[in-house]
Amino acid sequence: MKYQKLGNTDIEVSRISFGAWGIGGGNVWSDMSVDVRHVRDLLDHAYDLGINYIDTAPVYGVGTSEKILGEALKGCRDRFIVQTKCCLNWRNEGGEFEYVRDGYTVNKDHHASAIRKDVEDSLVRMSLDHIDVEVVHRMSSVVPVEETMSELNKLIEEGKIRAVIISNSEPQNYEEYAKYGVIAGVQEKFSLLSDDKRRYFDTLKKYGAVFQVYGSLDEGILAGPAILEKTFGADDIRSKSKWMKEPGRTALKKMYEMLAPLCEKYNCSYANLVQAWTLRQDPNINLLTGFRRFATMDDTCKVFDISLSDEDVQEISRIAEITKKG
């Protein structure tokens, strides 16, 4: 395993991080449910592989992911850097409407009181005395950044959280947040087929911050051609992907045909090839990947065994551009 400092903090994290969204289950991840015993086994396996960075959020299964993770962490909390999020809640206490999921209305609220309640609720759900990294889950167009960061800084002073990153944002958001405190990094969707957030790289380099990638495999769409043989429920996130519908399916199938020789050349899975390409895009990337299966974790960690040539990095990018054009 390889490690990196989380921005300008003293927190050292594995370059592969454990995504716990799928642990929350519900209609979003409808093909597999997990229990505490299974998650504890996953955490043991992650530790053996050198993975020490775990990401979750209150809204992942409306509390389910945090609760299961908290139970699984008992007795091994000191092995991991725990990251969760704030500003999305289902308490019906105000805020901006965001979405309805699994029978709950989720609102976005960046007010100081809501941020504090989010953190305190997460601490209770996970039975923790502190959270290592708190992520501002989405950006607000209503609440001043100064108010949000002021409360997060107070929570740092109180020892309830150690560091802050922001998510689903733009470089100008980072610049604004950085006026009021240390922002260790950002968590953004970035993949072979959705790479527009590369415009963030220069800003983060300026601040020495980490770019934590989520969705590098597009919720499994880029894990390999086997996804094309599967069907998912209407509310499952994968069924909503344009690549699971025509003409996207045909374009995706052709993409896999073009990538096959490179997988053979590097003796790796399609997922590994895509993840290796992702890590080559910027030296400060942290690869957040959802883990519910041991095999997925094992395969992801093989990415460091792959050394793509510059020519093949460019070839993979070329194939992606062809795919996006349909």
- The count of other CB atoms within 10 Å of the CB of residue 295 is 9
Name the more confident of 313 and 30.
313
What structural domains and CATH numbers belong to the chain?
Answer: 3-227+278-306 (3.20.20.100)
Burial of 266 (0-12, 13-18, 19+ CB in 10 A): middle
Strand partners, 101: 104
Distance CA 303, CA 274 (A): 9
Structural element, H or E, at residue 124: helix 112-126
110 and 60 Cβ atoms separated by less than 8 Å: no
User: pLDDT tens digit string along 260-313?
Assistant: 999 999 999 999 999 999 999 999 999 999 998 999 999 999 999 999 999 999
User: What is the value of pTM for the model shown?
Assistant: 0.94
Alpha carbon 162 to chain centroid distance?
A: 19
Structural element, H or E, at residue 148: helix 145-157
Strand partners, 185: 210
SS3 202: helix
Is residue 32 scored above 60 in pLDDT? no
Distance CA 205, CA 64 (A): 35
User: pLDDT tens digit string along 86-141?
Assistant: 999 999 999 999 999 888 999 999 999 999 999 999 999 999 999 999 999 999 99
**CB crowding 95-108: b at 16 or more within 10 Å, else e:** beebeebbebebbb
For 158, residues 6+ apart whose C-beta sits below 8 A from its C-beta are none
Q: What is the pLDDT of residue 24?
A: 79
Chain mean pLDDT for the chain: 94
